[in-house]
Amino acid sequence: MKTSLQKRNFLLLKNDKESELIKKILNSPLGLAKELIIKLNENNYENLKDNLDKIKQFVAGIKRTENLQKDYKLARFYPTMFAFHQYFNSSFRARQGKVLELVVQEILRNYTDCSIVPDKVIQMQEIVKEVFSISTKPTLDIDALGIDEKNKKLIIIQIRSRDDTGGTTAKGSLVDFLRYLLRTKKIPEYQVTYLIAVWDERNSQQKKSTISKMYSSLKENITITDSKFENSIKNGVEINKRISLKLAYGTNEISDALFNWNSSRNDKILKSIKKVTKTITNWDDLWIAYAISSLEIEISSFYNTSNIKILDKYLKQENIKLNDTFKINAIDEIAFSIASVWQDDTIPLPSVSDRILYIRDLIFLKLIYNKLRK
């Protein structure tokens, strides 16, 4: 009887045209997945402890566990585990923001009347310099920018993933670039919309605080009152000649803002965020690399081995080579074959089917590693 296992979609093993856009948008988290896969296969987690600052030695109890490691494996496990999750979460936070930027750029490029949508910040800064006739190029960051040359319109977008993190400085920084433009006292050649896009609106009680801080950052360069600023910013408040500021909370409001800005009123914009994010939902590289790495750090600490090492042993024993000639469609059969001879009790999953899937995922990650190290 032929048994099939749940499907996997590893982008790092794909080279087809359909995956190009997905890999482009997810390039940053895919980079993190690569790092995890390399560390996993080379068992290179210990050095992450060296990157922990001195404060964590006593606040997080790192120093204490180092004094107990000789007689307690849990204490030996803790510093590496702590350092690993610090490294992952710190790296991931910045990378998710990059994905949001690329999603918005893709929507501007394919759903609006924009004739130019730059990929790089330096290109965005150059466009702003020309539109505002500024002698020196701005140095502050922009998350996304689109220019509609036909209708003489420019949209500058600053994206915040959510609004319940970061203090007043972070909230005010959303309009740093706009404040810089106002201080130049230049009238732009095009009609400019400066859109603040808060992706996840679930904690919108911070909205009033965000608006207040933005007004505080801009008030020396604008003439409107704080009440008018607060009441008008959702629909767009004109803060200078040819410059308006708009705040959108959540993907529905962001879509509406882009729809209303776009001259041709393309209805597809209203569903564009959902459509683009749906295309980048079903991929497995990062979550599998992260989950397996988390388990393998534990296994390495408690058993002084790793399932990657054990897999290597069985691949050699079964004469299976994960090289360029390996056929991915044979991977289920290989997983069953390896599982049937796997004697080591080092896979911390309860069922036979879970253990087979774990072995197959290890094989996938080994295959990717070999490809990366080719």
Confidence of residue 169 (pLDDT cuts 50, 70, 90): very low
CB within 8 Å of 313: residues ≥ 6 apart: none
Q: For residues 90 and 165, which has the higher predicted lDDT (pLDDT)?
A: 90
Host H or E run for residue 244:
strand 243-249
Radius of gyration of the chain (CA): 26
Pairing of strands 191-200, 243-249: parallel
Averaged pLDDT for residues 21-29: 96
The share of the chain scoring above pLDDT 70, in percent, equals: 96
3-state helix, strand, coil in the chain (%, to 5): 60, 10, 30
pLDDT, the chain, mean = 92
Confidence of residue 267 (pLDDT cuts 50, 70, 90): very high
pLDDT, position 374: 80
pLDDT, position 168: 47
DSSP state of 342: -
pLDDT, position 82: 95
Averaged pLDDT for residues 307-330: 91
Cα(79)–Cα(137) distance, rounded to whole angstroms? Answer: 45
CB within 8 Å of 156: residues ≥ 6 apart: 124, 128, 142, 144, 145, 177, 178, 192, 193, 194, 195
pLDDT tens-digit readout, 272-318 = 999 999 999 999 999 999 999 999 999 998 998 999 999 999 999 99
pLDDT tens-digit readout, 188-240 = 999 999 999 999 887 666 788 889 999 999 999 999 999 999 999 999 999 99
Averaged pLDDT for residues 70-94: 92
Confidence of residue 333 (pLDDT cuts 50, 70, 90): very high
CB within 8 Å of 339: residues ≥ 6 apart: 352, 355, 356, 359
- Burial (0-12, 13-18, 19+ Cβ within 10 Å), 304: exposed
In DSSP terms, 154 is beta-bridged to 147, 192
pLDDT, position 71: 85
Out of 1.10.3470, 2.60.40, 3.40.50, 3.40.1560, the CATH code matching 113-265 is 3.40.1560
Q: For residues 154 and 71, which has the higher predicted lDDT (pLDDT)?
A: 154
pLDDT, position 243: 97
pLDDT, position 164: 60
pLDDT, position 167: 47
pLDDT at residue 2 greater than cutoff 60: no
pLDDT tens-digit readout, 64-74 = 998 898 889 99
pLDDT, position 146: 98
pLDDT at residue 40 greater than cutoff 80: yes
pLDDT, position 4: 74
Domain range summary for the chain, segments of one domain joined by + = 11-96+286-372, 113-265
pTM, full prediction: 0.90
